[in-house]
Structure 1
Amino acid sequence: MRILIIEDEIVIARFIEQQVQNISSAFEIAIAISVDEVEHLFPDFIPQLVICDIELNDKLDGIELLRQLKVSHTFETVFITSYKSMNMINRAFEIEPLNYIIKPLDENRLYAGILPAIKKIKENLPQPAADLNETISQSELNILRLIAQQKTTPEIASILNLSPYTIKNHRHNICRKLRLNDETNALLKWSLKNQHLLAK
């Protein structure tokens, strides 16, 4: 699992990192201490969980930063903050975090706040790549890769020299094979979350 810690105080960021590693040493963890670092890291790291402080003392606060990132990326969120106002909590929950941890931090508070998020993400992890390759045809994989690039059905049809109707049929079959709801954004969300499985 890939976890990004966004915290402008490096000492606190390292403390959070250590607590996450105590849960599992297998996690890939990255730290960003500024909005610029987040924007630089995000496209390549593609985190599945973002642990984010709300007050970053930067051009954006944590809520607005993650709100913007969620437009084009799919990930789960745990907020950490010293703010206790209901207004701030309500604003944070507009982007549907899995948890909200109030500072000051300690080992038990972090563990209790982060563990449910990790368990939920693990429950939704995709099937192994080998199984995916057995389930999904090569042409369907090509379509999933284009969906991950946020191409529309007409654009995919043009790139693959197929009719939009054929692409729609493929999308329906892929949803059925992956046990997804056959809705407009289901495949986009899945493909963005699982780009590592679609790599050639």
Structure 2
Amino acid sequence: MVRVLIIEDEIIIARFIEQQLLSSFQCTTRIALSVNEALTAMPEMLPHLLLCDINLQETESGIELIARLRHDFAFEVIYITSYQNRGIIAQAASTNPANYIIKPVDEAQLFAGVQLVMNKILHHSAAGEKIMHPASLLNTTELSILQQIRDKKTTKEIAQSLFLSPYTIKNHRHNICRKLQLDEGNNALLKWVMQNSHLL
């Protein structure tokens, strides 16, 4: 079931969005009325989708909050806002939102905006997970191996560059998979590197 966090400082609007989501989609919801409530909810809920207002009446905007959350969590985001200014929309676009809905929001507009993102989450997305930062989990050699996997080097080429045996590299790969909680089959490590190359 898709987990949705609604970050909206106006409770009436938040409840309306929640009601529409629960009546139209297979999902669980939670409302955060402030930045602090959102920061608390993220690790507890690990939402797949955030519906976020831009103007949260705080020192931090919704865009700044989303940029901060992107560092530690994988999720899709839809901005729901009254801002139609091109500069604000461009700023929002820098956080790679899945959609941008202009207030006031009606049922049809909300359904259309969310439906496309729900399909993406259910079929193609890595949303709903905490991002594991390799630097905090792996040693220098393991990070170097990941970087070379990213650069499409073979085990033999990696071994030569690090002056190690291919057998030692295979052991390192096994340890990396264990630390990143990856299944060793089906090229799981290569897939992880391709999806998370920005972390290396």
User: Normalised by the size of structure 2, how large is the TM-score?
Assistant: 0.71
- Residue segments in structure 2 that go unaligned for 5+ positions in a row: 143-167
| Match in the other structure for 1:154 | 139
- For each residue in 1:104-153, what CA deviation from the matched residue of structure 2 results, as whole angstroms up to 9, or x when unmatched? 11001111111111111011267xxxxxxxxxxxxxxxxxx9x8475432
**Cα drift, residue 59 of structure 1:** 2.3
CA RMSD after TM alignment: 3.0
User: Normalised by the size of structure 1, how large is the TM-score?
Assistant: 0.71
- For each residue in 1:68-96, what CA deviation from the matched residue of structure 2 results, as whole angstroms up to 9, or x when unmatched? 01011110000011010110101001011
Aligned residues: 163
3-state SS of the aligned residue for 1:20?
A: helix
Is residue 2:172 matched to residue 1:185?
no
The one-letter code matched in structure 2 to 1:168 is R
| Match in the other structure for 1:42 | 42
| Match in the other structure for 2:110 | 110
- The sequence identity of aligned pairs, in percent, is 36
For 1:184 and 1:156, the matched residues in 2 are separated by: 20
The one-letter code matched in structure 1 to 2:52 is C
Aligned 1:168-183 pairs, distance under 5 A: 168-169=173-174, 171=177, 173=184, 176-177=187-188, 180=191, 182-183=193-194
Is residue 2:178 matched to residue 1:167?
no
**Cα drift, residue 154 of structure 1:** 1.4
Is residue 2:94 matched to residue 1:94?
yes
For 1:184 and 1:104, the matched residues in 2 are separated by: 36
Contact 1:175 1:181 in 2 (8 A): no
Q: Which has the larger radius of gyration?
A: 2
| Match in the other structure for 1:23 | 24
3-state SS of the aligned residue for 2:100?
A: strand
Aligned 1:50-65 pairs, distance under 5 A: 50-65=50-65
